Structure 1
Protein backbone atom coordinates (compact mmCIF):
# COMPACT_ATOMS: atom_id res chain seq x y z
CA UNK A 1 0.00 0.00 0.00
CA UNK A 2 1.54 3.38 -0.98
CA UNK A 3 2.57 5.65 1.84
CA UNK A 4 0.50 8.84 2.15
CA UNK A 5 1.95 12.32 2.25
CA UNK A 6 2.90 13.76 5.62
CA UNK A 7 0.95 16.66 7.11
CA UNK A 8 3.93 18.93 6.47
CA UNK A 9 4.41 17.99 2.80
CA UNK A 10 2.71 21.09 1.36
CA UNK A 11 4.45 23.37 3.87
CA UNK A 12 7.79 21.93 2.86
CA UNK A 13 7.02 22.46 -0.82
CA UNK A 14 6.17 26.12 -0.16
CA UNK A 15 9.36 26.52 1.86
CA UNK A 16 11.42 25.07 -1.00
CA UNK A 17 9.68 27.33 -3.52
CA UNK A 18 10.44 30.41 -1.42
CA UNK A 19 14.12 29.51 -1.10
CA UNK A 20 14.40 28.63 -4.80
CA UNK A 21 12.69 31.89 -5.79
CA UNK A 22 15.20 33.80 -3.68
CA UNK A 23 18.11 32.08 -5.40
CA UNK A 24 16.68 32.50 -8.89
CA UNK A 25 15.97 36.19 -8.19
CA UNK A 26 19.50 36.88 -6.93
CA UNK A 27 21.60 34.58 -9.11
CA UNK A 28 19.38 34.02 -12.14
CA UNK A 29 17.72 30.76 -13.11
CA UNK A 30 20.48 29.42 -15.41
CA UNK A 31 23.21 30.06 -12.80
CA UNK A 32 21.38 28.25 -9.98
CA UNK A 33 21.79 24.50 -9.50
CA UNK A 34 19.62 21.99 -7.68
CA UNK A 35 22.56 21.44 -5.33
CA UNK A 36 22.42 25.10 -4.36
CA UNK A 37 18.64 24.94 -3.84
CA UNK A 38 19.04 21.86 -1.64
CA UNK A 39 21.78 23.58 0.39
CA UNK A 40 19.65 26.73 0.83
CA UNK A 41 16.79 24.58 2.10
CA UNK A 42 18.98 22.52 4.44
CA UNK A 43 18.02 19.35 2.56
CA UNK A 44 19.86 16.60 0.80
CA UNK A 45 19.58 16.60 -2.97
CA UNK A 46 17.70 13.29 -2.79
CA UNK A 47 15.15 14.81 -0.40
CA UNK A 48 14.73 17.84 -2.68
CA UNK A 49 13.94 15.53 -5.59
CA UNK A 50 11.21 13.97 -3.47
CA UNK A 51 9.37 17.30 -3.69
CA UNK A 52 10.40 18.60 -7.12
CA UNK A 53 11.64 16.39 -9.94
CA UNK A 54 13.97 19.00 -11.49
CA UNK A 55 14.85 22.69 -11.66
CA UNK A 56 12.26 23.33 -14.38
CA UNK A 57 9.45 22.08 -12.14
CA UNK A 58 10.57 24.59 -9.50
CA UNK A 59 10.43 27.42 -12.01
CA UNK A 60 7.00 26.35 -13.25
CA UNK A 61 5.63 26.18 -9.71
CA UNK A 62 7.06 29.58 -8.71
CA UNK A 63 5.65 31.29 -11.82
CA UNK A 64 2.25 29.57 -11.78
CA UNK A 65 1.70 30.09 -8.06
CA UNK A 66 2.47 33.80 -8.30
CA UNK A 67 0.45 34.53 -11.43
CA UNK A 68 -2.49 32.42 -10.18
CA UNK A 69 -2.71 34.60 -7.08
CA UNK A 70 -2.72 37.72 -9.23
CA UNK A 71 -5.46 36.28 -11.46
CA UNK A 72 -7.56 35.27 -8.44
CA UNK A 73 -7.45 38.69 -6.81
CA UNK A 74 -8.37 40.60 -9.97
CA UNK A 75 -11.24 38.17 -10.60
CA UNK A 76 -12.47 38.79 -7.05
CA UNK A 77 -12.30 42.56 -7.46
CA UNK A 78 -13.94 42.45 -10.89
CA UNK A 79 -16.93 40.71 -9.32
CA UNK A 80 -17.18 43.29 -6.51
CA UNK A 81 -19.93 45.96 -6.36
CA UNK A 82 -17.52 48.91 -6.26
CA UNK A 83 -17.65 51.98 -8.47
CA UNK A 84 -15.38 51.97 -11.52
CA UNK A 85 -12.77 54.20 -9.88
CA UNK A 86 -12.86 52.28 -6.61
CA UNK A 87 -12.37 49.03 -8.52
CA UNK A 88 -9.29 50.26 -10.37
CA UNK A 89 -7.82 51.67 -7.17
CA UNK A 90 -8.37 48.35 -5.44
CA UNK A 91 -6.76 46.52 -8.36
CA UNK A 92 -3.68 48.69 -7.93
CA UNK A 93 -3.58 48.43 -4.14
CA UNK A 94 -4.00 44.67 -4.09
CA UNK A 95 -1.50 43.95 -6.87
CA UNK A 96 1.11 46.12 -5.13
CA UNK A 97 0.28 44.41 -1.83
CA UNK A 98 0.76 41.00 -3.44
CA UNK A 99 4.09 42.07 -4.93
CA UNK A 100 5.26 43.28 -1.52
CA UNK A 101 5.05 39.75 -0.15
CA UNK A 102 6.33 38.02 -3.27
CA UNK A 103 9.17 40.14 -4.62
CA UNK A 104 11.40 37.16 -5.40
CA UNK A 105 8.59 35.31 -7.19
CA UNK A 106 7.71 38.46 -9.11
CA UNK A 107 11.29 38.92 -10.26
CA UNK A 108 11.40 35.28 -11.36
CA UNK A 109 8.14 35.73 -13.27
CA UNK A 110 9.52 38.86 -14.93
CA UNK A 111 13.01 37.56 -15.77
CA UNK A 112 12.92 33.78 -16.05
CA UNK A 113 9.67 32.67 -17.71
CA UNK A 114 11.54 32.69 -21.02
CA UNK A 115 13.44 29.59 -19.86
CA UNK A 116 10.27 27.48 -19.64
CA UNK A 117 9.24 25.00 -22.31
CA UNK A 118 6.82 26.47 -24.84
CA UNK A 119 3.66 24.86 -23.44
CA UNK A 120 4.50 25.79 -19.84
CA UNK A 121 5.45 29.34 -20.80
CA UNK A 122 2.20 29.83 -22.75
CA UNK A 123 0.15 28.57 -19.80
CA UNK A 124 1.77 31.14 -17.50
CA UNK A 125 1.51 33.91 -20.09
CA UNK A 126 -2.18 33.12 -20.65
CA UNK A 127 -2.83 33.83 -16.97
CA UNK A 128 -0.79 37.02 -17.17
CA UNK A 129 -2.93 38.08 -20.13
CA UNK A 130 -6.07 37.50 -18.03
CA UNK A 131 -4.71 39.88 -15.39
CA UNK A 132 -3.84 42.51 -17.99
CA UNK A 133 -7.25 42.13 -19.66
CA UNK A 134 -9.05 42.68 -16.35
CA UNK A 135 -7.02 45.85 -15.72
CA UNK A 136 -7.74 47.02 -19.27
CA UNK A 137 -11.47 46.58 -18.72
CA UNK A 138 -11.22 48.61 -15.50
CA UNK A 139 -9.27 51.34 -17.30
CA UNK A 140 -11.71 51.39 -20.20
CA UNK A 141 -14.68 51.74 -17.84
CA UNK A 142 -13.29 55.11 -16.74
CA UNK A 143 -12.86 56.46 -20.26
CA UNK A 144 -15.38 57.83 -22.78
CA UNK A 145 -16.37 55.27 -25.35
CA UNK A 146 -16.00 52.29 -23.01
CA UNK A 147 -15.84 49.40 -23.46
CA UNK A 148 -14.49 49.69 -27.04
CA UNK A 149 -11.46 51.78 -26.11
CA UNK A 150 -8.35 51.34 -28.28
CA UNK A 151 -6.16 53.03 -25.67
CA UNK A 152 -7.20 50.79 -22.77
CA UNK A 153 -4.45 48.21 -23.39
CA UNK A 154 -1.60 50.74 -23.91
CA UNK A 155 -2.70 52.68 -20.82
CA UNK A 156 -2.82 49.45 -18.85
CA UNK A 157 0.72 48.55 -19.92
CA UNK A 158 1.89 52.01 -18.85
CA UNK A 159 0.27 51.39 -15.46
CA UNK A 160 2.00 48.02 -15.15
CA UNK A 161 5.23 49.76 -16.11
CA UNK A 162 4.94 51.73 -12.87
CA UNK A 163 4.01 48.71 -10.77
CA UNK A 164 6.07 45.87 -12.17
CA UNK A 165 9.52 47.41 -11.76
CA UNK A 166 9.25 48.70 -8.21
CA UNK A 167 11.56 45.93 -7.04
CA UNK A 168 14.41 47.47 -9.05
CA UNK A 169 14.47 50.73 -7.09
CA UNK A 170 12.52 50.40 -3.82
CA UNK A 171 14.89 49.89 -0.89
CA UNK A 172 13.86 47.63 2.02
CA UNK A 173 13.34 49.85 5.04
CA UNK A 174 13.27 52.98 2.89
CA UNK A 175 10.97 55.95 3.43
CA UNK A 176 8.43 54.58 0.94
CA UNK A 177 7.10 51.06 1.34
CA UNK A 178 4.57 49.22 -0.84
CA UNK A 179 1.63 50.33 1.31
CA UNK A 180 2.49 53.99 0.85
CA UNK A 181 3.46 53.79 -2.82
CA UNK A 182 0.23 52.08 -3.98
CA UNK A 183 -1.99 55.19 -3.50
CA UNK A 184 0.70 57.32 -5.16
CA UNK A 185 0.54 55.09 -8.23
CA UNK A 186 -3.27 55.23 -8.22
CA UNK A 187 -3.38 59.02 -7.80
CA UNK A 188 -0.75 59.60 -10.49
CA UNK A 189 -2.52 57.33 -12.97
CA UNK A 190 -6.04 58.57 -12.25
CA UNK A 191 -5.45 62.24 -11.51
CA UNK A 192 -2.08 63.24 -12.90
CA UNK A 193 0.97 64.50 -11.06
CA UNK A 194 -0.97 67.31 -9.36
CA UNK A 195 -3.16 64.75 -7.58
CA UNK A 196 -0.25 63.01 -5.86
CA UNK A 197 0.03 63.65 -2.12
CA UNK A 198 2.80 62.71 0.25
CA UNK A 199 2.13 59.53 2.25
CA UNK A 200 0.07 60.25 5.32
CA UNK A 201 -1.26 63.52 3.93
CA UNK A 202 -4.73 64.36 2.71
CA UNK A 203 -5.78 63.63 -0.84
CA UNK A 204 -7.94 61.46 -3.01
CA UNK A 205 -5.87 58.38 -2.24
CA UNK A 206 -6.02 58.62 1.57
CA UNK A 207 -2.92 56.40 1.48
CA UNK A 208 -2.42 54.59 4.74
CA UNK A 209 -6.03 54.24 5.85
CA UNK A 210 -7.31 53.19 2.43
CA UNK A 211 -4.61 50.58 1.82
CA UNK A 212 -5.15 49.18 5.31
CA UNK A 213 -8.88 48.93 4.61
CA UNK A 214 -8.27 47.00 1.40
CA UNK A 215 -5.86 44.65 3.17
CA UNK A 216 -8.32 43.94 5.97
CA UNK A 217 -11.22 43.23 3.62
CA UNK A 218 -9.23 41.25 1.08
CA UNK A 219 -7.01 38.65 2.77
CA UNK A 220 -4.45 36.95 0.54
CA UNK A 221 -5.33 33.65 -1.00
CA UNK A 222 -2.96 30.79 -0.20
Structure 2
Protein backbone atom coordinates (compact mmCIF):
# COMPACT_ATOMS: atom_id res chain seq x y z
CA UNK A 1 0.00 0.00 0.00
CA UNK A 2 1.45 3.37 -1.01
CA UNK A 3 2.39 5.69 1.79
CA UNK A 4 0.31 8.89 1.89
CA UNK A 5 1.73 12.36 1.99
CA UNK A 6 2.77 13.73 5.34
CA UNK A 7 0.65 16.52 6.84
CA UNK A 8 1.84 19.87 5.53
CA UNK A 9 3.29 18.41 2.31
CA UNK A 10 1.35 20.78 0.06
CA UNK A 11 2.19 23.84 2.14
CA UNK A 12 5.87 22.92 2.18
CA UNK A 13 5.94 22.38 -1.57
CA UNK A 14 4.12 25.68 -2.10
CA UNK A 15 6.88 27.44 -0.16
CA UNK A 16 9.53 25.63 -2.23
CA UNK A 17 7.83 26.76 -5.44
CA UNK A 18 7.71 30.35 -4.19
CA UNK A 19 11.40 30.39 -3.26
CA UNK A 20 12.41 28.72 -6.52
CA UNK A 21 10.34 31.21 -8.53
CA UNK A 22 12.12 34.07 -6.79
CA UNK A 23 15.53 32.58 -7.59
CA UNK A 24 14.64 31.76 -11.20
CA UNK A 25 13.18 35.23 -11.73
CA UNK A 26 16.19 37.03 -10.25
CA UNK A 27 19.02 34.83 -11.55
CA UNK A 28 17.54 32.84 -14.42
CA UNK A 29 16.57 29.18 -14.54
CA UNK A 30 19.81 27.99 -16.10
CA UNK A 31 21.99 29.83 -13.55
CA UNK A 32 20.10 28.56 -10.49
CA UNK A 33 21.10 25.26 -8.91
CA UNK A 34 19.06 22.92 -6.76
CA UNK A 35 21.60 23.57 -4.01
CA UNK A 36 20.61 27.24 -4.07
CA UNK A 37 16.93 26.33 -3.96
CA UNK A 38 17.49 24.03 -0.98
CA UNK A 39 19.47 26.73 0.82
CA UNK A 40 16.77 29.35 0.18
CA UNK A 41 14.15 26.95 1.56
CA UNK A 42 16.33 26.07 4.57
CA UNK A 43 16.09 22.35 3.78
CA UNK A 44 18.62 19.72 2.80
CA UNK A 45 18.96 18.71 -0.83
CA UNK A 46 17.59 15.19 -0.15
CA UNK A 47 14.57 16.81 1.50
CA UNK A 48 14.08 19.03 -1.54
CA UNK A 49 14.01 15.95 -3.77
CA UNK A 50 11.25 14.55 -1.57
CA UNK A 51 9.00 17.27 -2.99
CA UNK A 52 10.20 17.51 -6.60
CA UNK A 53 12.00 15.06 -8.88
CA UNK A 54 14.38 17.59 -10.44
CA UNK A 55 14.80 21.22 -11.45
CA UNK A 56 12.70 20.83 -14.59
CA UNK A 57 9.78 19.46 -12.61
CA UNK A 58 10.19 22.41 -10.27
CA UNK A 59 9.94 24.79 -13.22
CA UNK A 60 6.93 22.94 -14.64
CA UNK A 61 5.12 23.12 -11.30
CA UNK A 62 5.75 26.87 -10.98
CA UNK A 63 4.34 27.48 -14.46
CA UNK A 64 1.44 25.07 -13.97
CA UNK A 65 0.41 26.61 -10.63
CA UNK A 66 0.56 30.15 -11.99
CA UNK A 67 -1.40 29.30 -15.14
CA UNK A 68 -4.03 27.42 -13.16
CA UNK A 69 -4.46 30.47 -10.93
CA UNK A 70 -5.06 32.61 -14.03
CA UNK A 71 -7.54 30.07 -15.42
CA UNK A 72 -9.36 30.08 -12.08
CA UNK A 73 -9.57 33.89 -12.23
CA UNK A 74 -11.31 33.66 -15.61
CA UNK A 75 -13.84 31.24 -14.12
CA UNK A 76 -14.39 33.46 -11.08
CA UNK A 77 -15.08 36.52 -13.23
CA UNK A 78 -17.37 34.54 -15.53
CA UNK A 79 -19.35 33.28 -12.55
CA UNK A 80 -20.28 36.87 -11.71
CA UNK A 81 -22.33 37.08 -14.94
CA UNK A 82 -21.49 40.71 -15.57
CA UNK A 83 -22.59 42.72 -18.61
CA UNK A 84 -20.09 42.42 -21.51
CA UNK A 85 -18.03 45.57 -20.89
CA UNK A 86 -17.93 45.07 -17.12
CA UNK A 87 -16.97 41.43 -17.68
CA UNK A 88 -14.00 42.29 -19.90
CA UNK A 89 -12.93 45.11 -17.58
CA UNK A 90 -13.08 42.72 -14.60
CA UNK A 91 -10.90 40.22 -16.48
CA UNK A 92 -8.29 42.90 -17.22
CA UNK A 93 -8.27 44.20 -13.66
CA UNK A 94 -7.99 40.73 -12.15
CA UNK A 95 -5.10 39.73 -14.41
CA UNK A 96 -3.06 42.90 -13.88
CA UNK A 97 -3.49 42.54 -10.13
CA UNK A 98 -2.59 38.84 -10.29
CA UNK A 99 0.59 39.65 -12.18
CA UNK A 100 1.47 42.13 -9.46
CA UNK A 101 0.93 39.54 -6.74
CA UNK A 102 2.90 36.86 -8.63
CA UNK A 103 5.65 38.83 -10.33
CA UNK A 104 8.28 36.12 -9.89
CA UNK A 105 6.01 33.37 -11.15
CA UNK A 106 4.93 35.45 -14.13
CA UNK A 107 8.51 36.25 -15.10
CA UNK A 108 9.39 32.56 -14.88
CA UNK A 109 6.39 31.60 -17.04
CA UNK A 110 7.24 34.26 -19.61
CA UNK A 111 11.00 33.73 -19.78
CA UNK A 112 11.77 30.16 -18.70
CA UNK A 113 9.03 27.89 -20.04
CA UNK A 114 11.27 27.42 -23.11
CA UNK A 115 13.55 25.22 -20.98
CA UNK A 116 10.85 22.56 -20.61
CA UNK A 117 10.57 19.61 -22.96
CA UNK A 118 7.47 19.11 -25.10
CA UNK A 119 5.89 16.71 -22.60
CA UNK A 120 5.87 19.38 -19.88
CA UNK A 121 5.37 22.40 -22.14
CA UNK A 122 2.42 21.15 -24.22
CA UNK A 123 -0.20 21.08 -21.41
CA UNK A 124 0.95 24.52 -20.24
CA UNK A 125 0.54 25.96 -23.72
CA UNK A 126 -2.92 24.38 -23.85
CA UNK A 127 -3.96 26.22 -20.67
CA UNK A 128 -2.52 29.47 -22.04
CA UNK A 129 -4.52 29.10 -25.23
CA UNK A 130 -7.72 28.41 -23.33
CA UNK A 131 -7.21 31.52 -21.19
CA UNK A 132 -6.54 33.67 -24.27
CA UNK A 133 -9.61 32.18 -25.98
CA UNK A 134 -11.79 33.17 -23.03
CA UNK A 135 -10.50 36.75 -23.27
CA UNK A 136 -11.07 36.75 -27.03
CA UNK A 137 -14.64 35.54 -26.49
CA UNK A 138 -15.17 38.41 -24.03
CA UNK A 139 -13.91 40.88 -26.64
CA UNK A 140 -16.19 39.37 -29.29
CA UNK A 141 -19.18 39.41 -26.94
CA UNK A 142 -18.67 43.13 -26.44
CA UNK A 143 -18.00 43.78 -30.15
CA UNK A 144 -19.57 40.91 -32.16
CA UNK A 145 -18.55 42.46 -35.48
CA UNK A 146 -14.90 41.88 -34.59
CA UNK A 147 -15.42 38.12 -34.70
CA UNK A 148 -16.88 38.43 -38.21
CA UNK A 149 -13.64 39.97 -39.49
CA UNK A 150 -11.40 37.79 -37.29
CA UNK A 151 -10.06 40.72 -35.24
CA UNK A 152 -11.15 39.65 -31.77
CA UNK A 153 -8.10 37.39 -31.29
CA UNK A 154 -5.48 39.85 -32.62
CA UNK A 155 -6.91 42.57 -30.36
CA UNK A 156 -6.75 40.15 -27.44
CA UNK A 157 -3.10 39.48 -28.19
CA UNK A 158 -2.46 43.24 -28.26
CA UNK A 159 -4.06 43.44 -24.83
CA UNK A 160 -1.85 40.67 -23.47
CA UNK A 161 1.14 42.32 -25.09
CA UNK A 162 0.34 45.43 -23.08
CA UNK A 163 0.16 43.67 -19.72
CA UNK A 164 2.38 40.58 -20.01
CA UNK A 165 5.66 42.49 -20.03
CA UNK A 166 4.84 45.05 -17.36
CA UNK A 167 7.34 43.37 -15.04
CA UNK A 168 10.19 44.49 -17.32
CA UNK A 169 9.68 48.16 -16.45
CA UNK A 170 7.33 48.52 -13.45
CA UNK A 171 9.55 48.56 -10.38
CA UNK A 172 8.18 46.60 -7.38
CA UNK A 173 9.38 49.36 -5.03
CA UNK A 174 8.22 52.24 -7.23
CA UNK A 175 5.44 54.72 -6.61
CA UNK A 176 3.21 53.25 -9.32
CA UNK A 177 1.75 49.88 -8.32
CA UNK A 178 0.03 47.11 -10.25
CA UNK A 179 -3.15 48.03 -8.36
CA UNK A 180 -2.93 51.58 -9.71
CA UNK A 181 -2.02 50.36 -13.20
CA UNK A 182 -4.94 47.95 -13.53
CA UNK A 183 -7.69 50.52 -14.31
CA UNK A 184 -5.30 52.44 -16.59
CA UNK A 185 -4.78 49.33 -18.71
CA UNK A 186 -8.55 48.80 -18.96
CA UNK A 187 -9.19 52.46 -19.81
CA UNK A 188 -6.47 52.44 -22.46
CA UNK A 189 -7.81 49.26 -24.06
CA UNK A 190 -11.41 50.47 -24.11
CA UNK A 191 -10.94 54.09 -25.07
CA UNK A 192 -7.45 54.67 -26.37
CA UNK A 193 -5.00 57.24 -25.09
CA UNK A 194 -7.64 59.93 -24.80
CA UNK A 195 -9.46 57.98 -22.08
CA UNK A 196 -6.49 57.85 -19.69
CA UNK A 197 -6.92 60.39 -16.89
CA UNK A 198 -4.00 62.80 -16.57
CA UNK A 199 -3.65 62.51 -12.81
CA UNK A 200 -1.43 60.66 -10.39
CA UNK A 201 -2.90 57.71 -8.47
CA UNK A 202 -4.25 58.51 -5.03
CA UNK A 203 -2.05 57.75 -2.03
CA UNK A 204 -4.10 54.60 -1.42
CA UNK A 205 -2.84 53.19 -4.70
CA UNK A 206 0.80 54.11 -4.27
CA UNK A 207 3.57 52.09 -2.74
CA UNK A 208 5.64 53.43 0.08
CA UNK A 209 8.80 55.14 -1.17
CA UNK A 210 11.96 53.08 -1.05
CA UNK A 211 14.10 53.86 1.96
- Is TM (by shorter chain) over 0.5? yes
Quote the offset at 1:79 in angstroms. 3.7
* Residue matched to 2:97: 97
Quote the offset at 1:78 in angstroms. 2.6
Conserved 8 A contact 2:176-2:201? no
Judge which range, 75-84 or 156-165, deviates more. 75-84
1:43 partner SS:
coil
Gap runs ≥5 in structure 1: 202-206, 209-222
TM-superposition CA deviations, 1:17-67 (whole Å, max 9, x none): 001001111111111111111111111101101111110110110000000
Judge which range, 29-38 or 74-83, deviates more. 74-83
For residues 114 and 3 of structure 2, what CA distance do their matches in structure 1 show?
37
* Residue matched to 1:73: 73
* Residue matched to 2:156: 156
1:178-217 alignment, distance < 5 Å: 178-197=178-197, 198-200=199-201
For residues 146 and 81 of structure 2, what CA distance do their matches in structure 1 show?
18
1:145 partner SS:
helix
1:6-155 alignment, distance < 5 Å: 6-145=6-145, 147-155=147-155
Give the paired residue count.
203
Judge which range, 133-142 or 55-64, deviates more. 133-142
> Which TM-score applies when normalising by structure 2?
0.90
Conserved 8 A contact 2:187-2:195? yes
* Residue matched to 1:213: none
Quote the offset at 1:141 in angstroms. 1.8
Q: Provide the alpha-carbon RMSD of the alignment.
A: 1.8
Conserved 8 A contact 2:170-2:176? yes
Gap runs ≥5 in structure 2: 206-211
Judge which range, 137-146 or 78-87, deviates more. 137-146
Conserved 8 A contact 1:140-1:149? no
Conserved 8 A contact 1:136-1:156? yes
Conserved 8 A contact 2:184-2:196? yes
